[in-house]
Amino acid sequence: MSLRSKDLTGLKDLSTDDINLIIETAAGFKDVLGRDIKKVPALRGRTTVNLFYEPSTRTRTSFELAAKRLSTDVINVSVSTSSVVKGETLKDTARTIEALGADFIVVRHACSGAAHFLADNLGSSVINAGDGTNEHPTQALLDIFTIKEKKGSVAGLKVAIVGDILHSRVAKSNIYGLTKLGAEIKLIGPPTLVPLCFGDLGPSVYYDMDEGLKDADIVMTLRIQSERQGKGFFPSTDEYFKNWGLTSKRLLKAKEDVMVMHPGPMNRGVEISSDVADGERSVILEQVTNGLAVRMAVLYLLSGAKQ
Amino acid sequence: MNILVKNAKVIDPSQGTDGICDITIENGKIKEVRKSGGAEARKKTNADVRTSAYAGFEVIDAEGLLVVPGLVDMHVHLREPGFEYKETIRTGTEAAVRGGITTVCCMPNTKPVNDNAGITEFIINRAAREGACSVYPVGAITKGQKGEELAEFSIMHDAGCIAFSDDGRPVMDSLLMRRALEYSKILKALIISHCEDLSLAAGGVMNEGLVSVTLGLRGIPPQAEEIMVSRDIALAELTGGRLHIAHVSTAGSVEIIRAAKKRGVADITAETCPHYFHITEEVAAGYNTFARVNPPLRTRADVEAIRQGLSDNTLDVIATDHAPHHMDEKTVEFDNAPSGISGLETSLGLSMKLVEEGVLSLSQLIEKMTLNPARILGLLSGGTKGTLRPGADADLVVVNTKDEYRVDPGGFRSKGKNSPFDGWTLKARPAITISNGRIFRWE
Amino acid sequence: MPKVLLDKKDIERAITRMSHEIIEKNKGVSSILLAGIQRGGVHIARRLASKLGLIEGTEIPVGILDIALYRDDINVRKEQPVVRRTHMPAEIHGLKVVLVDDVLFTGRSIRAAMDAIMDLGRPSAVQLAVLVDRGHRELPIKADFVGKNIPTSLDETVRVQLSEDGLEDMVVLE
B14 falls within a domain: yes
CB contact under 8 A, C119 and A37: yes
Q: Delimit the domains of chain C by residue range.
A: 7-152
B338 falls within a domain: yes
In which domain, by residue range, is B8 found? 2-67+392-441
* Chain A CB contacts of C115 below 8 Å: 41
CB contact under 8 A, A201 and B333: no
A195-229 residue pLDDT tens: 888 999 999 999 999 999 999 999 999 999 776 66
Instruction: Let me know whether B340 and B396 are in one domain.
Output: no
Instruction: Let me know whether B162 and B268 are in one domain.
Output: yes
Burial class (CB in 10 A: 0-12, 13-18, 19+), A13: middle
Q: What is the dihedral of CA C66, C71, C76, C82, to 10 degrees?
A: 0
In CATH, the architecture of C7-152 is: 3-Layer(aba) Sandwich (3.40)
- ipTM score of complex: 0.91
Q: In angstroms, rounded to a whole number, what is the distance separating the alpha carbons of residues C132 and C143?
A: 10
Q: Delimit the domains of chain A by residue range.
A: 16-136+288-302, 138-283
Question: What percent of chain A has pLDDT above 90?
Answer: 79
Angle at the Cα of B388 from the Cα atoms of B15 and B315, rounded to 5 degrees: 65
CB contact under 8 A, A113 and B209: no
Q: In angstroms, rounded to a whole number, what is the distance separating the alpha carbons of residues B397 and B98?
A: 10
Average pLDDT over residues C94-119: 96
Q: In angstroms, rounded to a whole number, what is the distance separating the alpha carbons of residues B233 and B298?
A: 22
The answer, for A195 touching chain B at a CB cutoff of 8 Å, is yes
Which residue type does A54 have? E
List, by residue number, the catalytic residues of A.
58-59, 86, 108, 136
CB contact under 8 A, A304 and C74: yes
Q: What are phi and psi of A67, to 5 degrees?
A: -65, -40
Q: In angstroms, rounded to a whole number, what is the distance separating the alpha carbons of residues C61 and C67?
A: 19
Q: What are phi and psi of B76, to 5 degrees?
A: -140, 145
| Best of A12, A82, A92, A111 to mutate (most B CBs within 10 Å, chain B) | A111
Instruction: Let me know whether B77 and B174 are in one domain.
Output: yes
Q: What is the dihedral of CA B264, B270, B276, B281, to 10 degrees?
A: -70
Instruction: Let me know whether B346 and B217 are in one domain.
Output: yes
Least confident of A188-192, A284-288, A301-305, B426-430: A301-305
B386-426 residue pLDDT tens: 999 999 999 999 999 998 999 999 999 999 999 999 999 99
* Chain B CB contacts of A198 below 8 Å: 213
CATH (residue range A138-283): 3.40.50.1370
B381 falls within a domain: no
Q: What are phi and psi of A202, to 5 degrees?
A: 130, -40
- Which residue in B has a C-alpha nearest to residue A9's C-alpha? B286
Same fold, A16-136+288-302 and A138-283: yes
A249-280 residue pLDDT tens: 999 999 999 999 999 889 999 999 999 999 99
Chains B and C contact (Cβ–Cβ under 8 Å for 3 or more pairs):
no
Query: Which residues does A259 contact at the CB level (< 8 Å), separation at least 6?
Result: A147, A150, A151, A217, A218, A219, A281, A283
Supply the pTM of this predicted model.
0.90
Interface of B with A (CB under 8 A): 209-210, 213-218, 286-287, 328, 331-336
Report chain B's mean pLDDT, rounded to a whole number.
Answer: 95
Question: Helix or strand or coil: residue B90?
Answer: helix
CATH fold group of domain A16-136+288-302: Rossmann fold (3.40.50)
Instruction: Let me know whether B350 and B211 are in one domain.
Output: yes
Which residue of B209, B331, B334 is in closest CB contact with A112? B334
CB contact under 8 A, C77 and A304: yes
What is the structure's pLDDT at B55?
81
* Chain A CB contacts of C80 below 8 Å: 1-2, 300-301, 303-304
Query: Which residues does A35 contact at the CB level (< 8 Å), separation at least 6?
Result: C119, C120
* Chain B CB contacts of A117 below 8 Å: 287, 332-334
How would residue B443 be classed by pLDDT, with cut points 50, 70 and 90? low
CB contact under 8 A, A131 and B216: yes
CA distance A197 to chain B (A): 6
- Which residue in B has a C-alpha nearest to residue A165's C-alpha? B213
CA distance C70 to chain A (A): 6
- Provide the number of structural domains found in chain B: 2
Which residue is catalytic, options B115, B197, B302, B321?
Answer: B321
Instruction: Let me know whether B296 and B328 are in one domain.
Output: yes
Which residue of A111, A169, A197 is in closest CB contact with B334? A111
Question: What percent of chain B has pLDDT above 90?
Answer: 92
Q: How many beta-carbon contacts under 8 Å exist across A and B?
A: 60
